[in-house]
Every structure is written in structure tokens, then in C-alpha cells.
Amino acid sequence: MLDFLKISNLALIDSLSLDFGSGFICVTGETGAGKSVILGALSMLAGNRCGREIVGNFGDACVVEGSISFSDARRVDAILEACGLPRCEDGSLIISRSVSKAKGGRIFVNGALAPLSVLAKLGEVWIDFHGPGEPQKLFSARSQLEMLDAMCGGAETFAEYARAYGRLKRALSEMEELSHSKRLSPEEAEFLQSRIDEIDEMKISEDSIAQLEQSYKIAEMASDISEKSGAIVESLTGADSAAERLRACNRLAADLAGELEAAEGLAERISAAVVEIDDISSEFESLARASEMSPAQIESVRARMSAWMGISRRYGATASAVLAARDEMARKIELQTDVGASLDRLRAERDGILRELEPLADKIFALRRRAAQGAEREVAKLLKNLGFKRPEFKIELSRDSEPSGNFGSSCEFYFSANAGQPPKPLAKVASSGELARLMLALKSVLAEADETPVLVFDEVDANVGGEVGAEVGRQLSRLSGAHQVFCITHLPQVAARADAHFLVEKFQKRDSTKISAGEISGDAALRVSELARMLGDRSSESAVAHARELLKGG
């Protein structure tokens, strides 16, 4: 969930810090008060593009910071690791984004500089917007299929299909490469084999290369190690050495400790120092012996290192990279040895995988059909409660003509908000407010399966009121059991249901106009006043009484 949001110099916001908890969070305020600026800040953290015109007049740059916590950060950490960014610490993702009037923008993720593309990838994981001007995931065939699959169950069947489909793609890729690749000449095959032999002769492994690098370092420093180690040993243990003087001190201290209790501890420390010096001297002697190499041994190590450096320059600096290149060269030779036999083998492999995929695709299609039928019923029921008199919601399924990354079938969502109108694809029939309520219904059905922790709704209550508005509030409240839900609302019935209520206000100070925002959940009088304003008149006794009733009911 989003724990913290800090905004500086964004549009009319000078400086603003907001803390959020879990549950249902509503944002209210007069029309034009600046609620959309709060949404804009969230949009910036989600990786959406923005221009320099958003920078306010309170400084040279605007900065938006946020902290998002995850109960399970593995998906986010996978993205961060793939992009070379620090993982989440204690499950928290820290994002900071600035936009300058003169220099453009900078993004930091967990303290490290990051590109906008990474921020957008992370945004897809942690936040979902539903409202005007935001990308509508419902229009995407991929998103529709993902939503349907979240209701399906049968995870192992999907995983089994994915594994088999991955093998099919590899087999088809090899067939394509083999069919169009130029046959290796005998000279080319011989050259590749010589490269393979060169690698094999070195018996390369991660451990052997690490050992070689250590041996090479010792070989290059052998005389220096021997000379300096010998000097250290002589200084520590030779005639008139530190050890001899310390032993004399040790004898005197022991005599003194026998007569004076206060000297016992000091004598023990001197005795320990004698033992420590002896140990150090012994270890330096061992180091000198270990570094002893004959000229032939040194030459052998240098020759092996020279061979390794030549190989690593060609194929990569690590043993794993070199071995991967070796396997690729061997594969080319194997495939080219007998193209016909290789193609026959790959065709047989392809046909076997296709036979595996067909029953799996049938199972997945059946799972999707059952889930679609259940979703159609549940979503239609919720849509009626959300103000649609005779809504129709359909999920059309179709089998793909061949195996695909869609697990063998596709779907499209159809919707009709009005009686007598046949259902059509969402992009052709739904307004932004209708889409927001449709998404609310879908999210309610998907509540447990949907992994997006933060949902943002804007205009979900457009053109509704009364009991329908109350039902919108109830659904948002239920949805907040599985997600952190933000809602920009004009309806008091919705605001009264919120666990946390934030008020956005615009005010003038001298010649400057500013936007402020703060939580009013803990101030009963202020919250009643805001709900009464939303009802029509905060000075009206009936509006105030109605506001109190709404809060009791919420």
C-alpha cells in the first residue's frame, strides 16, 4: 500500500506531506480545489509522462516522493534486480521523481537513479487507475484475459502449458534457423572444432578459473612475498626482535603478578601478545612457503593465464560465458553434421509437443468458460446495484488457431449499459464514468485474486446519487478489504463510507494561490461540515443532520 506521499512545488501545491493507512481513502473538496493535482502526483509515481508545465511557481523544480509497502515484494524485487536497482528493504519501495523547469527530470528508486521505463513497469505492479484521462486497462485484450484468468484457478494446468509452449518455441526456432542457415563448409566446421578443443583443453570451471587467477597473482608476486614475509618473520622472532623483548617483559610481568594482584590482568595480556606474535610469525612463514614456485611452475601459470585471457576476450570474462559459447559452437556443428536428420528430430519433437498442448488448451478453455459464466452473472448483479437498470456484460471466448502465448484461447469483454442496445466491445460503448463503475464491479468480483495493492477511482460516482451512490460507497468499502482504495468523490454517501477522509482546499495568501490537503477523519465536526457541504449547504441544519446520519450508517 501507499504509506506516504510528499509533494513539493507541483502546480499550486507548495509543500504537502500525507500519511496513509490501509482500507478505503476518499478525497473530497470543492470543484476546482485541486483534487486532480493529488491524482497527478500519484500518476507521476506510477511512471506516466508529464511536462514541465506542472512545475509550480514556488521553486525551480517539483518533487514527488512516495513509499509503497508490500506484504510480498518478490514481483517488485524481480523487476528491480533485472534493471540493476536495489531491492526493497523490509518490503518498502521508495520512489522520488523530480521535474525541473530547466533541466528536465530525474527519478530515484530505492536511492538509485532509474529511467522512466522502469518506473512504468513498477507502476503496473503496485497501482491501478480508473477514471478519465488515465490508461484504461479494460480496453486491452491482454488485460481482459489476465482478469479472466485470475478467476480461473487451475494454476498447474497453466504452468504445464507454459512449459510445453516454451519447448515448442525453442524447437520451432531451431527448425527456422536450420532451414535458412548456410551449411558450414568443412573449413568452418574444422575452425569451430578447434575453438571447442581449445576451451576443452583448459578444463574450464568457475572454481578452476578462480584458482588460476589466485595462482597467477602469487606467481607474479612470488619474490616480493618471500622477501617481505622473511623480513617480517626476522623482525618478529630474530635476535633482539619484538618477540624476544616481549618475552622478557612477560617474565617480569609474571614475577610481578605473583606478588601484586593488580598486575595479574596486565601479565595475562602480555602473555597473550607473545602467543599472538608467534602465531603471526608462523603464518607469514607458511605464506612464504606457499608462494615458493620454481621458474617452470611460474612459466606454466603464466602460459595458462595467457590462454585464458585470449579465450575470455573472445567469448566473455566469466567461465559460464565461455562454456555457453562452447556449447553454442558444438550445437552448430551437431546441427550441420546432418541437416536432414536434425530437421527430422526437431519435427518429431514439435509434433510431440503439439499433442501435449492440445488437451491442455482444452482444459484451459473449459476453465475460462466456467469462470466467464460466473463473472457475467456476478458482474451484472453488481452493475444493477451500481445504477445500471438493465446492464449486459458478456465475455466472448474464442479458440486460437494454433498454440499461443494466450494458452490457446482469447477473450473480449462486451458491455451494454442500456436496454435494447446489444453488447459491444468496451472501447465503443462505455463512458469514463461507466467504465469506472464497471471496473469497480470487476474488481469486486476479483478482489481476492487481483494482486494490485493500490486502486484509484475517479468519477466512479459520475451521474449517480441517492441509493446508487450509497452502493458505490459500499462496494468501495468491501473492495478495500483486499486493496488500498483511493476515491476522488463528490458524493457524501461515498465519502461517509471511507476509513480515512482527506479534504483538498484552495486558498489565497497575499498574491499567491495555493492548494492544501489534510486528513479530517479524526475531526468529527470538520468531517460533518464537509459532508454537509457536499449535501448542498454546510450551514443548513437538515444537511448537518443528514451528514451525521450518513456517518453513523457508514
pLDDT exceeds cutoff 70 at 132: no
Domain shared by 127 and 206, yes or no: no
Domain shared by 117 and 205, yes or no: no
Residue 136 belongs to some domain of the structure: no
Domain shared by 543 and 516, yes or no: no
pLDDT at 460: 80
Residue 433 belongs to some domain of the structure: no
* Grid cell listed for 346: 526437431
pLDDT exceeds cutoff 50 at 357: yes
pLDDT exceeds cutoff 70 at 149: yes
pLDDT exceeds cutoff 80 at 312: yes
d(CA 381, CA 276): 81
Q: What is the pLDDT of residues 252-304, one digit of tens each?
A: 878 777 777 777 788 788 788 878 877 887 777 777 666 666 778 778 888 88
Residue 190 belongs to some domain of the structure: no
Residue 441 belongs to some domain of the structure: no
Of 302, 335, 368, which one is at a domain's C-terminal end? 335
Burial level of 217, CB count in 10 A (0-12/13-18/19+)? Answer: middle
Q: Which of 249-253, 278-282, 401-405 has the highest mean pLDDT?
A: 401-405
* Grid cell listed for 218: 602469487
Higher pLDDT, 55 or 288: 55
Rounded (5°) CA angle 307-313-315: 100
Domain shared by 224 and 329, yes or no: yes
Residue 448 belongs to some domain of the structure: no
Lowest mean pLDDT among 140-154, 414-428, 437-451: 437-451
pLDDT at 135: 42
Domain shared by 105 and 76, yes or no: yes
pLDDT at 254: 80
**How high does pLDDT run on average in the chain?**
86
Residue 28 belongs to some domain of the structure: yes
Instruction: Quote the domain boundaries for residue 552.
Output: 524-554
Residue 125 belongs to some domain of the structure: yes
Closest CA to 350 of 174, 177, 180: 174
- pTM for the full predicted model: 0.65
Domain shared by 121 and 225, yes or no: no
Q: What is the pLDDT of residues 361-396, one digit of tens each?
A: 999 999 999 999 999 999 988 888 888 888 899 999
Is 134:43 a contact under the CB 8 Å cutoff?
Answer: yes
Residue 82 belongs to some domain of the structure: yes
Domain shared by 117 and 238, yes or no: no
Of 308, 335, 362, which one is at a domain's C-terminal end? 335
Mean pLDDT of 327-331: 85
pLDDT at 285: 72
| CATH number, position 110 | 3.40.50.300
Instruction: Give per-residue burial for 241-269: e unless 16+ CB within 10 Å, then b.
Output: bebeebbebbeebeeebeeeeebeeebee
Domain shared by 106 and 232, yes or no: no
Domain shared by 109 and 206, yes or no: no
Domain shared by 116 and 212, yes or no: no
* Grid cell listed for 26: 476518499
Domain shared by 219 and 105, yes or no: no
Domain shared by 204 and 331, yes or no: yes
Report the domain count for the chain.
Answer: 3
Burial level of 453, CB count in 10 A (0-12/13-18/19+)? Answer: buried
Mean pLDDT of 479-492: 93
